[in-house]
Structure 1
């Protein structure tokens, strides 16, 4: 079940993010302490979850007027079952109701990052096309120490096709 988060679920989502982050360790990517993104969120209208209780989530924001996928995390115990794809499609459905594109930042060479998003319709967004907020976000990631391996900015253009959407929270 893909749905918007409830306020009482937000604190527990950090465990999912931390477990998902552990998948990067064998690649030599270890996130600095204090960079768990979901802990900063207090608005359930920014978070789409999978399951009840949640086994994965997508946290959305707005950057340069577009929906920005801040974080997508699925607990490894529930990985490779399509949960991430369903969450991503819910993000894109929600975005299509309010904007023309979704942006994100991700690791270029991690198989379940940039290549995974590319297979789902995302493309690398050249730096010359970044807006001022996206540029600042990338700089903030660098300052936090998240750029531990080459990263890219990606985007996916949304179609305004009149289909039903999860909602217009973002």
Structure 2
């Protein structure tokens, strides 16, 4: 599987990919409100790592507090359970290691392919008082737009060999 930085022409098809990935949540009673597809807000291919040609998965990056933030990780269900998500997450962490001390994300606490999956890849849930202002605000924003149907948490993975320049 080719893992690469997205090109501008890749962005158009990623919203459909994200919506397809989100259908997995319907089986457990989580339905995302219309207009919450994260990749539709992105017009900078330099923030997106994709898997495959054409893409079958992607990771969208941002900045939150002093960290690289994983805004979204999505793999089309037809390509799930093949390690693509892990490859994308590894690429995110590799790219972030030269930019920031950690990668952060927000996710569903109890969904097996969310917080428990990230925990198995070195992410941890800090206590809420240590989330930082921006991650805490993200969780509140997610709740306000209807994504907080199930408990959400902030997760963080400290990176090395990041050195503050």
Describe the superposition over 1:51-72 as per-residue Cα deviations: whole angstroms up to 9, x where unpaired: 0100000000000010000000
**Is 1:84 matched up with 2:85?**
yes
Calculate the TM-score normalised by the size of structure 2.
0.95
SS of structure 2 residue aligned to 1:80:
coil
Q: 1 or 2 for the larger relative contact order (CA 8 Å, sep ≥6)?
A: 1
2:100–2:162: 8 Å Cα contact kept in structure 1? Answer: no
Match of residue 155 from structure 1 = 156
Q: How does 1:20-169 map to 2 (within 5 A)?
A: 20-160=21-161
Describe the superposition over 1:122-166 as per-residue Cα deviations: whole angstroms up to 9, x where unpaired: 00021111222112211111111110111111000101079xxxx
SS of structure 2 residue aligned to 1:10:
helix
Aligned length: 162
Structure 1: segments with no counterpart, 5+ residues: 163-170
Calculate the TM-score normalised by the size of structure 1.
0.93
- RMSD of aligned C-alpha atoms? 1.2
SS of structure 2 residue aligned to 1:147:
coil
Structure 2: segments with no counterpart, 5+ residues: none
